[in-house]
Amino acid sequence: MFPEYIPVEANQLTENTSIALAKEIKISAIATDFSPEAIPTTYVKQGNGGTPILLLHGFDSSLLEFRRLFPQLAEQQETWAVDLLGFGFSDRVPNLPYSAAGIKAHLYYFWKTLIKKPVILVGASMGGAAAIDFTLEYPETVEKLVLLDSAGLAKQPMIGKFMFPPLDYWATEFLRNPKVRHNISKAAYYDKSFASQDAQVCASLHLKCRNWNQALIDFTKSGGYGSFTKKASNIAQETLILWGKQDKILGTKDAHKFAKLIPNNQLVWIDNAGHVPHLEKSQAVAQKILTIV
C-alpha cells in the first residue's frame, strides 16, 4: 500500500490527504560533493506547468506536513516537497554534516538533479530559515520566496552546547514521547481539533526511520539556524510572508520584522490559524501562494 521505505505505522493514517501523499512519496539517490555515496532522498512531485513550487518542512518534521496544501497547489502548478537532510524519510547516512550547511548543500544537489530550473521556494517554520539560507546562497535557483511562520531571526540556541551523552539521548527520547509530541502539536494549532490521531501519526512517523535520534542530535549540536537579521536585506526576490494571526509558537512580532528587513515583500495574515496555517487554512494559504506564481 505504501512505499517500502515508509514505516509500516503509515497504515494507521486515516485522513485521505495523509494517505494519498504518503503513497506518492518517491526516493532518489542524490549525488553530492560532501558524501562518497549518493544520499537516498524522499520527495513528492505532482502537477505540471508554470514555475515549480518547492515546499520545505519544519524542524523534526517531514513532507507530510504539507498533506493538505500540496494537492491544492499541484492542481494548478508543478509542485514538489522534499525531506531535508537528516529529517523526514530521507536516509540518515552516518557521518554526514547534519547541519544548516549540510541541508543547504543537499538541497542544492536535489534541485540540480531533479528540478533544474528556478523555483518558487516555500519554507514553513525552520523550513523558512532553510529557504532564506538557500536563497541567499543560490539566488539564481529561486524566482520567488514564500515564508510561512518562518524561523530565521532568533540567535542560535544554546542547547547544542549541552547535548553530550547521555543528555543528548534523553533529549531525543523526550521528543519521542507521544504525550510530548501531542502537546507540541496542540500548541501549534489555533483550532485544537486539528491535533487529531492522524496528525499525531503524521508528526511521528519519521521517528521510526534509521538513525532518527542521532541525526537530530547532530543537527542540534551544530547550532541549527541562527539569525538572518543582517542578511535579510540582501534577498532580492519578491517575497510573500504568510503568518498565522494566532501563532503561539513564534508569536507574531517576527512577521513584522521580516516585513521591515526584506526589501520586496508582502505580509499577509491568515486569521484563525496558529503556527501551521498550511494545515489549518490550507485553502487560504494555497490561494495566496498561487497569486504570485
In the structure, what pLDDT confidence band is assigned to residue 8 with cuts at 50, 70 and 90?
very high
Q: What is the CATH number of the domain that holds 266?
A: 3.40.50.1820
Return the pLDDT at 162. Answer: 47
Domain total of the chain = 1
Q: Is residue 235 part of a domain?
A: yes
Residues 6+ apart with CB under 8 A from 15: 67, 196, 198
Give the structural domain span for 261: 8-290
Q: Is residue 195 part of a domain?
A: yes
Q: Name which of 136-145, 170-179, 196-205, 235-244 the model is least confident about.
A: 170-179
pLDDT tens across 178-218, in order? 898 999 999 999 999 999 999 999 999 999 999 999 999 99
Q: Is residue 140 part of a domain?
A: yes
pLDDT tens across 109-129, in order? 999 999 999 999 999 999 999
Mean pLDDT of 130-136: 98
Residues 6+ apart with CB under 8 A from 156: 223, 224, 225, 226, 227
- Mean pLDDT, the chain, rounded, equals 94
In the structure, what pLDDT confidence band is assigned to residue 167 with cuts at 50, 70 and 90?
low
Mean pLDDT of 216-230: 94
In the structure, what pLDDT confidence band is assigned to residue 1 with cuts at 50, 70 and 90?
confident
Return the pLDDT at 168. Answer: 58
Q: Is residue 100 part of a domain?
A: yes
Q: Is residue 2 part of a domain?
A: no
Q: Is residue 148 part of a domain?
A: yes
β-pairing, 53-56 vs 79-82, is parallel
Q: Is the pLDDT of residue 160 over 80?
A: no
Residues 6+ apart with CB under 8 A from 59: 87, 125, 126, 151, 224
Q: Is residue 232 part of a domain?
A: yes
Q: What is the helix, strand, coil percentage profile of the chain, to 5? A: 45, 15, 40
Q: Is the pLDDT of residue 171 over 80?
A: no
* Through-space distance between the first and last CA atoms of the chain, rounded to whole angstroms: 34
d(CA 240, CA 146): 5
Most confident of 160-164, 171-175, 178-182: 178-182
Q: Is residue 3 part of a domain?
A: no
Return the pLDDT at 208. Answer: 95
pLDDT tens across 13-58, in order? 999 999 999 999 999 999 999 999 999 999 999 999 999 999 999 9
Report angle CA 134, 139, 142 to the nearest 5 degrees: 80
d(CA 65, CA 232): 26
Q: Which residue has the cell 526576490?
A: 237
In the structure, what pLDDT confidence band is assigned to residue 173 with cuts at 50, 70 and 90?
confident
